Amino acid sequence: MTQEDLDRQIVNCRKCRLWQEAKHAVLGEGPQDAEVMLVGQNPGAEEDKAGRPFIGRAGKFLNKMLSANGIDREKIFVTNIVKHVTPQNRKPSADEIEACVPYLVEQIKRGKPRIVVLMGAVAWQAPRVEGVEYVETVHPSAAMRFTKMRRRFEDDFALLAKRL
């Protein structure tokens, strides 16, 4: 399967109900063979509109964290565990995650990132691909809202930066 085949499969996917209210599938953004992959929960309304991940408030917060640590977002691949927006931005259900996560696994197997950063408890559920290091941190939208989470987010990105 080529990269185009995988992307087409995601765009045309009907494996769960989430495509029904979506404007775009949000496949991910960045170099396919990036050293680092960031994985969030699901696209929000702005991401759905543009078909791009992490461009809303949480995305801007994430961008700030990356640049504060000298990490170039253009060099990393950013995606979500679920590729279509959820109604009212609710958490994806277990069956939606189960239906969608094989796409993430395929993206990881193809891209072979050295480090995959799983942001938030929903992303932590992603099955692990052998030979890849996984880092669990909080979701940027939680880090924006809660001081304790923000500290963890800051610490985790500072540690990540040191390893690159």
User: Which residues are near ligand SF4 by CB under 6 A?
Assistant: 10, 13-16, 18-19, 25, 82-84, 96, 99-100
* 3-state secondary structure at position 81: coil
Inter-residue long-range contacts of 120-124, CB under 8 Å, 24+ positions, other chains counted = 120/40, 120/41, 122/41, 122/42, 122/81, 122/82, 122/91, 122/92, 122/97, 123/39, 123/40, 123/41, 123/80, 123/81
- Residue (63 or 125) nearer to ligand SF4, CB: 125
- Residue (13 or 135) nearer to ligand SF4, CB: 13
**DSSP symbol at 146:** -
**DSSP symbol at 109:** H
- Residue (65 or 82) nearer to ligand SF4, CB: 82
To the nearest whole angstrom, how small is the minimum distance from the Cβ of residue 17 to ligand SF4? 7
To the nearest whole angstrom, how small is the minimum distance from the Cβ of residue 83 to ligand SF4? 4
Q: Give the strands of the sheet with 77-80, arranged side by side.
A: 77-80, 36-40, 115-119, 133-137
To the nearest whole angstrom, how small is the minimum distance from the Cβ of residue 162 to ligand SF4? 34
To the nearest whole angstrom, how small is the minimum distance from the Cβ of residue 94 to ligand SF4? 12
To the nearest whole angstrom, how small is the minimum distance from the Cβ of residue 91 to ligand SF4? 13
Bridge-based pairing state of the strands 133-137 and 36-40: unpaired
